[in-house]
């Protein structure tokens, strides 16, 4: 391809696009990695309709687009037979000042005009498009698929995704965030989706529990905080077909909540520059279509079985999380302000903490996943009457005018999911467990590196390391050390504070003595009482770039 005094050569390989520009005797080369490309579209010129745009003497305005999608119904500019290929990429750039990295959108436009007829030029552009899309999907389909099996119609990714959006997450901006920041990238990547805007607490859980999820093998994406994903996973576990679905579905999260621990942990695992643009990075993690296994934790309380992906807390951090809810309108600052308040009025809690150290876990099967657990075959006739239909369409919202609150009753839900291979809460812990009785400031089990964007709780945790990181801070820690602990949470130095003990465990049990303090699972409040957690290695899959 040539411009006035310059020649541009473009080569496409399985690594990406190689560009060479020769101008006035100088040569400059550049490469756009395939990993950074999200999609491409063929375009053509459109006829300029002065009546529609109003009459403007002089040249066409800069923001008036001269091209439209190849399938647009707008009339073609007959004087221009060119076809265009728009390639959308989000490339890593290093900021010179702070030496930090960020992803920047880049649109590479290739113009095809070697032939006299538009039809020939567009055919050429389509060949490039098909090949780029084929290469983008090689990783997803398996590396050895011969290209002769790949037709241009395969470009339409028909594995639709289900988007569950919580309009009340964080400071309540998730609708705008989705429409303005996520939808444009989904469009560039040709990803089709159904959108469900939640109308009350547990709405997402109901959707996951009752809808035909087999139509969403493209994935389940939540737009909100960790709480909405917690609902989605637990809704899935309440289905008789939880096991094959868990093996086939991938989960994604667009961070719009106040904590957003999982979104940060996913980006951290693949060294993505999350902090400057968390929504962009998380969306890119999803549209690239690659996924990674993630551990889940089976949680048992007196009358509930839950599945958790982030953490279980009792004491100080759980109290801060729940009590700071009243400051929700100020965003993530609420945690800092409440930490100071709770440090001044420090409380301790009596109880017993028991755990099975990760290395002693004879049952621990690192790559077993949920599939090795037996399906509990319960008949569940009750659930049929709680169906309600999701019928959202691309780019439309379906939501009731206001929000109301509604809980699932025990009659309408029953958890399936993998069973436990440890004694239930009514029986003593096995003899190879460690038991600590006494007074605690906090007990927190985490299975992701970050519990919130700025809480680097388990620095060495991986998405699928197959164990939990149990932090135990016993009473007697000085306020000065506790302050250091809280400050150190942002950079991970809290793990080396005296009297803060971090152990890796395969299972644990907390038995509070008195009815005081809060208990949380993935940041959601649960009834205070005995609780037991057991890791299920690699049980779920989340959208993530390779580590």
Ligand X SMILES: Nc1ncnc2c1ncn2[C@@H]1O[C@H](COP(=O)(O)OP(=O)(O)OP(=O)(O)O)[C@@H](O)[C@H]1O
Backbone angles phi, psi at 388, to 5 degrees: -150, 145
3-state secondary structure 382-432: HHHHHCCCCCCCCCCCCCCCCCEECCCCCCCCCCCCCCCCCCCCCCCCCCC
Which 224-253 positions form the footprint of ligand X (CB under 6 A)? Answer: 224-228, 231
Cβ proximity to ligand X, 202 vs 339, nearer residue: 202
CB of 281 to ligand X, least distance (A): 16
- CA-only gyration radius of the chain, Å: 26
199 part of the interface to ligand X, by CB under 6 A: yes
CB 314 within 8 A of CB 510: yes
Place of tokens 């920041």: 181
CB of 255 to ligand X, least distance (A): 7
Determine if 195 is a binding residue for ligand X (CB under 6 A): no
Closest residue to ligand X, Cβ-based? 225
- Considering the rule CB under 6 A, would residue 448 count as an interface residue with ligand X? no
CB 93 within 8 A of CB 103: yes
CA distance linking residue 519 with residue 343, whole number of Å: 18
Stretch that binds ligand X, among 34-42, 127-135, 254-262, 367-375 (CB under 6 A): 254-262
- Report the nearest approach of ligand X to the CB of residue 224 (Å): 3
Q: Counting contacts by CB under 6 A, is residue 206 touching ligand X? A: no
Query: Considering only residues 200, 375, 397, 438, which one is a binding residue for ligand X as defined by CB under 6 A?
Result: 200
Give the CA angle between residues 58, 64, 69 to the nearest 5°. 140
Interface with ligand X (CB under 6 A), residue from 272, 319, 361, 524? 524
* Residues in Cβ contact with 172 at an 8 Å cutoff, skipping those fewer than 6 apart: none
Between CA 508 and CA 470 the distance in angstroms is 8
Catalytic site includes residue 226: yes
CB of 228 to ligand X, least distance (A): 4
Binding window for ligand X (CB under 6 A); candidates: 60-68, 197-205, 210-218, 533-541: 197-205
Among 45, 81, 155, 198, binds ligand X (CB under 6 A): 198
Q: Residue 538 interacts with ligand X (CB under 6 A)? A: no
437-to-241, 351, 526 alpha-carbon distances in Å: 40, 6, 22
Q: Which is nearer to ligand X, 382 or 406 (CB)?
A: 406
Contact status: 292 vs ligand X (CB under 6 A): no
Would you count residue 39 as binding ligand X (CB under 6 A)? no
Closest to ligand X by CB, 225 vs 533, is 225
Query: Which of 81, 155, 201, 234 is the binder for ligand X (CB under 6 A)?
Result: 201
First to last CA, the chain: 37
CB of 218 to ligand X, least distance (A): 21
Residues 6+ apart with CB under 8 A from 221: 161, 162, 163, 164, 193, 251, 252, 253, 254, 286, 543
Pairing of strands 349-357, 500-512: antiparallel
Secondary structure of residue 322 in the 3-state scheme: helix
| Pairing of the two strands 157-165 and 219-224 | parallel
- The least CB distance from residue 526 to ligand X, in Å, is 11
- Euclidean distance between CA atoms 428 and 333, whole angstroms: 41
Our CB check for ligand X shows the closer of 190 and 275 to be 275
Closest Cα partner for 309 from 373, 251, 371, 376?
Answer: 251
Count of residues binding ligand X (CB under 6 A)? 24
> What are phi and psi for residue 119, nearest 5 degrees?
-55, -40
Please give the residues from 152 up to 191 whose contact with ligand X meets the rule CB under 6 A. 166-170
Encode burial over 329-351: b for 16+ CB neighbours within 10 A, e otherwise.
eeebebbbebbeebeeeeebbeb
Distance CA 497, CA 84 (A): 59
Measured from the CB atom, the residue of 89 and 544 that comes closer to ligand X is 544
Nearer to ligand X, 39 or 255 (CB): 255
216, 162 Cβ separation under 8 angstroms: yes
Q: Looking only at residues 366 through 405 of this chain, which bind ligand X when binding is defined by CB under 6 A?
A: 403
Query: What's the farthest any 2 CA atoms get from each other in the chain?
Result: 87
Q: Which is nearer to ligand X, 145 or 400 (CB)?
A: 400
Minimum gap (Å) between residue 205 Cβ and ligand X: 8
- The reply on whether position 298 binds ligand X by CB under 6 A is no
Options 203, 226, 321, 464, the catalytic residue: 226
Instruction: Decide whether 39 or 523 has the Cβ nearer to ligand X.
Output: 523
Q: Does 336 bind ligand X (CB under 6 A)?
A: no
Give the one residue of 257, 315, 517, 537 binding ligand X; rule: CB under 6 A.
257
Q: Is 517 in the site for ligand X (CB under 6 A)?
A: no
Instruction: Give the range of 77-85, 233-241, 258-266, 460-468 binding ligand X by CB under 6 A.
Output: 258-266
**Binding status of residue 434 toward ligand X by CB under 6 A:** no
* Stretch of 44-52, 186-194, 200-208, 353-361 contacting ligand X, by CB under 6 A: 200-208
Taken in order 495, 319, 519, 170, is the CA torsion positive or negative?
Answer: negative
Smallest gap from Cβ 141 to ligand X, in A, equals 33
Active site residues: 226
Positions that interact with ligand X (CB under 6 A): 166-170, 198-203, 224-228, 231, 257-260, 403, 523-524
């Amino acid at each position: 391809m040539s411009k006035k005094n310059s020649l541009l050569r473009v080569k496409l390989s399985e690594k990406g696009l190689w560009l060479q520009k020769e101008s006035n005797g100088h040569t400059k080369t550049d490469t756009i990695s395939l990993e950074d490309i999200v999609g491409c579209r063929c375009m053509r010129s459109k006829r300029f309709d002065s009546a529609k745009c109003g009459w403007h003497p002089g040249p066409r305005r800069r923001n008036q687009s001269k091209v439209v999608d190849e399938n647009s119904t707008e009339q073609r500019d007959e004087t221009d037979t060119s076809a265009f290929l728009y390639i959308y990429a989000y490339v890593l750039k290093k900021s010179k000042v702070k030496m930090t990295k960020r992803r920047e959108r880049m649109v590479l436009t290739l113009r095809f005009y070697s032939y006299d007829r538009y039809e020939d030029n567009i055919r050429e552009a389509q060949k490039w498009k098909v090949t780029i899309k084929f290469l983008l999907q090689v990783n997803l389909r398996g590396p050895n698929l011969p290209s002769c099996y790949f037709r241009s119609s395969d470009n339409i990714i028909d594995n639709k995704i289900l988007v569950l959006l919580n309009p009340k997450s964080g400071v309540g901006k998730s609708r705008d965030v989705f429409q303005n920041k996520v939808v444009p990238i989904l469009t560039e990547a040709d990803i089709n989706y159904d959108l469900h805007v939640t109308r009350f607490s547990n709405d997402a859980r109901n959707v996951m529990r009752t809808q035909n999820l087999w139509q969403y093998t493209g994935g389940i994406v939540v737009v909100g905080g960790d709480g909405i994903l917690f609902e989605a996973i637990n809704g899935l576990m309440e289905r008789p077909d939880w096991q094959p679905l868990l093996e086939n579905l991938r989960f994604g999260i667009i961070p719009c909540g106040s904590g957003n621990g999982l979104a940060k942990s996913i980006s951290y695992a693949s060294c993505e520059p999350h902090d400057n643009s968390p929504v962009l990075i998380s969306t890119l993690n999803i549209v690239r279509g690659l996924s990674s296994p993630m551990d889940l934790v089976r949680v048992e309380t007196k009358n509930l079985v839950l599945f958790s992906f982030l953490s279980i807390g009792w004491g100080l951090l759980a109290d801060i999380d729940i009590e700071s809810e009243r400051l929700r309108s100020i965003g993530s600052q609420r945690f800092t302000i409440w930490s100071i308040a709770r440090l001044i009025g420090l409380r301790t809690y009596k109880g017993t903490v028991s755990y099975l150290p990760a290395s002693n876990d004879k049952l621990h099967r690192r790559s077993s996943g949920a599939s090795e657990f037996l399906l509990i075959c319960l008949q569940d006739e009750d659930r049929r009457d709680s169906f309600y239909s999701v019928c959202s369409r691309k780019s439309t919202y379906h939501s009731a005018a206001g929000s109301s609150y509604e809980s699932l009753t025990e009659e309408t839900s029953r958890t399936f999911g993998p069973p436990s291979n440890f004694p239930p809460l009514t029986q003593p812990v096995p003899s190879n467990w460690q038991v600590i009785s006494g007074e605690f400031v906090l007990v927190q089990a985490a299975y992701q590196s970050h519990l919130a964007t700025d809480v680097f709780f388990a620095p060495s945790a991986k998405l699928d390391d197959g164990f939990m990181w149990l932090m135990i801070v016993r009473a007697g820690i000085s306020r000065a050390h506790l302050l250091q602990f809280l400050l150190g949470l942002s950079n991970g130095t809290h793990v080396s504070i005296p009297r803060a003990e971090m152990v890796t465990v395969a299972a644990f049990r907390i038995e509070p003595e008195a009815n005081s303090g809060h208990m949380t699972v993935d940041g959601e409040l649960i009834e205070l009482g005995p609780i037991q957690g057991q890791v299920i290695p690699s049980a779920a899959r989340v959208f993530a770039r390779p580590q």
